[in-house]
A and B are shown apart, each in its own frame.
Chain A
Amino acid sequence: MNAGVGYAAIIGVFAVTALIGFYGLRISRTTEDFYVASRTVRPWWNASAIGGEYLSAASFLGVAGLILISGADALWFPIGYTAGYLMLLLFVAAPLRRSGAYTIPDFTEARLESPAARRITSLLVVLVGWLYIVPQLQGAALTIRIATGLPPWVGSVAVAVVVCITVVTGGMRSITFVQAFQFWLKLTAIAVPIVFVLIVMANSGLTVPAVAEPFAAEPVGSPTAGAYRNISLVIALLFGTLGLPHVLVRFYTNPDGPSARRTTLIVLGLLSVFYLFPTLYGVVGRAFMPDLATSGSPDALVLLLPGRLIPGLAGDALTALVIAGAFAAFLSTTSGLVVSVAGVISQDMLGGRVRGFRLAAVFSSLVPLGVALLTDTTQLAGSVGLVFAFTASTICPLLLLGIWWRGLTDAGAIAGMLAGAILCGGSIMLSRALGAEAGPMGDLLAQPAAWSVPAAFAVMIGVSLMTKNRRPAGITTIMTRLHAPERPVPAPNR
């Protein structure tokens, strides 16, 4: 691959992101007109921004790579990633917006009236954020190696440093514009090359040798995923989306509950369109580049496919586009996570000052960078899936029970979150440590969501029932606020 193309694409994305971050607000929103200035963010904009923040390295590179390896089973990933928003739409979006809380710890404190529960939630949110950043940086490492031939760590360091600088210097002040741009960049970057690839294939008489066949074929280089694994994965993805800190803070941008719901609906549509394309890459890749599955970096499929099938300048241009899209994915998800994690850290541990936020932002970019440099992953989609399993076992029960059950107490919430964290985290660690020696328990340990999520719910409900006298005094007020529509009856004219 032409390294110059790679450099140009990466630097271009960095520059455009930073420019929109710094000047987007000033250019698009500086006005003398109060009407223009006080227009709220339309659900379409906000949905694009949520899509931009959400579609990470796992979606952009990982899904296609997994389809390449394990065929039809990997389709559960895009389905789960999207369907999680259905859960969000049904159970969380509107009540959370009505609560007036900005972050998940804010919500916890308001609902449970307990600083201790707030602190535990903050810790978990920070942990989840960091764990989620790690695969983004690993994706950057992979991409930079393939795009430019530089050593992989350069990619991780570059993304972490650029995000850190933009966040610290205030370049994310109007994050909606940046993220919405990133979504459309990602969609273009993944859609245009595959469309060209399909056209070229059609013209030169190449066909995917019967679409069904590659799916039916035995997975290359990975053990067959059993039904348990798939069920567990879908549970993790469905419930995990409910607890993602960087997605939930975006709902604060909606002016009220109904617009929060409309936004979620649009997100569902946007994601469904997006995931069509990684799937196409996976199918075409299975037909024409099966060698990648065994060579160790199947996640590179999206990056390599256009260049492989379309030679010459056109191929280079398309590759540049894909690289740009991939970096947009790393940058947007990472910066969204750094902003929300740094917000939580600065508020709960550093007293909420501006300097505290900057310090926290630096800290939140460097810690995951350290972890990313020390570890390595073979599957981006897989490691992000584990983060989903972790949020599904900790934050999701808190939100669901907190919103829908009056009986939740602070003691129950803390016990449930800790139980979920220990069970889920412990079993993932154990499965990593044991590797193939885990035997029949291997699946149970590697994909714990199917049992750790119910366990967390059970502990939370059980302990809450045992500590009935700890129900917060103002529960009725809070519940009314969460569930009563914003505009019940028009007030009489005075």
Chain B
Amino acid sequence: MPESQLLAVAVIGVLVITLTIALVGAIGFKLLRSWRELGTDAERATYTTLHSASLAGKHLRNGLEPVGAAKASKHLRSLLGCEAVAITDVAGVLAWDGIGEAHREGALGLAAKVLATGRTQVFREAVVHQAELKEAVVAPIRARSRIVGALVAYAPRAKPGLVRATSEVADWVAAQVELAELESSRTLLMEAEVRALRAQISPHFIYNSLNAIASFITTDPAKARDLVLEFADFTRYSFRRHGDFTTVAEELRCIEHYLKLERARFGDRLLVSLTIAPEVLSTVIPFLSLQPLVENAVRHGLEDKEGIGHIAITAQAAGAFVEVTIEDDGVGIEPEHLRAVLAGHSDSDHVGLRNVDARLRQVYGDDHGLVVDTAPGAGTLITMRVPKSQPRPDLGSLTDRLSA
């Protein structure tokens, strides 16, 4: 029906127009306000310089690499007020901004001397047949006493001011590069911390399992044999060296081995129910992130409880996340005590719980720690939420693990 389509078009048109007016109004208001609050000329010059510097700094956050250098060189040129700027590392020209990009490769020749001597130099015949680029100032970029590159500024005449400015800007770039190195070592440190945090199989469990197996060897050799095999499977999974991630399905298999061993001690006192939405089975989660939670439920929830204990494990999709819950009807934990445990103040028990919590926060951020609902005598409900999407390159090892 054309009328109603016309109506739709009209509605959309009005919406677009309203949005545009609002946008223009907002920008105008902002500009007006900032104009009023501008300071003196000298202050404005300082602001502009700082602004260019902060813009350039953002792009140097990954160190000296072509993409960032290209973006940063634009701002560096406006900072220096020269005709063209080139940034080189020790092997080649990373970026050129300004006129005469044809002479790009020439910059490395100029930089080579500076890279060798480590002193700022002025070249009077930098580019012979282009007057705007006739002279060049080359300053070394020195990060932690090592020369990592050079900054080349071209101008028709290299005045002393430009020489000074170029070497100052080169030093500033060097500081940014050092920051970038600091950042990357921080990442390395975080990775090392994740490795160190990787859950460990608990000595108690080994001791208890071996004892349980020992008790069956004479009475029920077949069962003892099964248990030894379970133990072997469990330890093989837990001791594996490569990969920090696994899938929900693999982790469930590990829990199965674990519970079979625990059942040898608990007998019929331990009941488990599972509700696993099949969609989430292939979701990638940190290695040994569920088994310690089940172990926590068994050791701290059900061990001290009289009679039959239940553990319910559920895993379901919740939007773009997977929500896993592990609930037991055991003795529960004193909330104050739990808070101390999770904050790392108490090094007594619940090591697994704290470890998993810390790793989840490391990997997914502080919003994704464990959520624990508990009270003395009321059981414990642990909820874990991880994003479904994990296109991380370091998961590549997951695939060869599956086939192993």
Q: Using a CB–CB distance below 8 Å, which chain A residues touch chain B?
A: 25-26, 29-34, 36-41, 45, 99-103, 106-107, 109-110, 170, 172-176, 252-256, 339, 342-344, 346-347, 351-354, 357, 371, 374-376, 378, 429, 432-433, 435, 469-470, 473-474, 477-478, 480-481, 486-491, 494
Contact = CB atoms under 8 A, between A and B. Distances in A.
Given A25-B316, A429-B12, 19 more contacts: A34-B256, A36-B274, A40-B282, A41-B281, A99-B391, A100-B391, A103-B320, A170-B318, A352-B321, A354-B318, A357-B318, A375-B4, A378-B1, A432-B8, A473-B65, A481-B396, A488-B403, A490-B403, A494-B404
21 contacts: A29-B278, A30-B274, A30-B275, A41-B279, A101-B391, A107-B391, A110-B392, A170-B318, A172-B317, A174-B279, A176-B277, A256-B282, A343-B319, A347-B320, A374-B8, A433-B6, A469-B70, A477-B396, A481-B391, A486-B399, A489-B403
B249 A106 contact: no
A386 B7 CA distance: 19
B118 to A, nearest CB: 29
Contact of A29 (B272, B276, B399): B276
A34 B278 contact: no
A29 B277 contact: yes
Interface string B222-239: 000000000000000000
A429 B402 contact: no
A429 B320 contact: no
A254 B282 contact: yes
B393 A174 contact: no
B160 to A, nearest CB: 34
A173 B320 CA distance: 11
A32 B273 contact: yes
B115 interface: no
A32 B281 CA distance: 16
Contacts of B396: 477, 480-481
A173 B316 contact: yes
B315 to A, nearest CB: 9
B219 interface: no
B253 A100 contact: no
B1 A376 contact: yes
B278 A39 contact: yes
A252 B249 CA distance: 14
A376 to B, nearest CB: 4
Nearest to B66: A469
Interface in B367-404: 367, 387-393, 395-396, 399-400, 402-404
Nearest to B2: A435
A375 B10 CA distance: 11
Q: Report, nearest first, the 3 A-B pairs whose CB atoms are least far apart.
A: A110-B391, A102-B389, A106-B389
Contacts of A490: 403-404
Contact of A352 (B2, B279, B284, B367): B367
Nearest to A436: B2
Nearest to A41: B278
Contact of A31 (B5, B273, B390): B273
A94 to B, nearest CB: 13
Contacts of B317: 172-175
Given A26-B275, A29-B275, A173-B277, A477 B393 contact: yes
Nearest to B260: A34
A252 B279 contact: yes
A460 B272 CA distance: 54
Given A103-B389, A429-B12, A469-B70, A25 B319 contact: no
Contacts of B67: 469-470
A376 B3 CA distance: 9
Interface of B: 1-2, 4-9, 11-12, 65-67, 70, 249, 252-253, 255-256, 271-279, 281-282, 284, 316-321, 367, 387-393, 395-396, 399-400, 402-404
Nearest to B317: A173
Contact of B389 (A100, A172, A481): A100
B9 to A, nearest CB: 5
Contacts of B271: 32
A347 to B, nearest CB: 5
Kindly name the residue among A106, A474, A490 whose own CB sees the greatest number of chain B CB atoms within 10 A: A106
A40 B249 contact: yes
Given A346-B319, A376-B1, A34 B389 contact: no
Contacts of A172: 317
Contacts of B272: 32
Contacts of A486: 399, 402-403
Contacts of B388: 102, 252
Given A31-B274, A255-B282, A491-B403, A102 B2 contact: no
Nearest to A255: B282
Contacts of A170: 316, 318
Nearest to A478: B393
Contacts of B5: 375-376, 432, 435
Contacts of B321: 352
Contact of B390 (A36, A100, A357, A432): A100
Contacts of A30: 273-275
B275 A102 contact: no
A99 B404 CA distance: 21
A474 B403 CA distance: 25
Contacts of B403: 486-491
Contact of A100 (B279, B284, B400): B284
A19 B6 CA distance: 41
Nearest to A100: B391
A474 B394 CA distance: 11
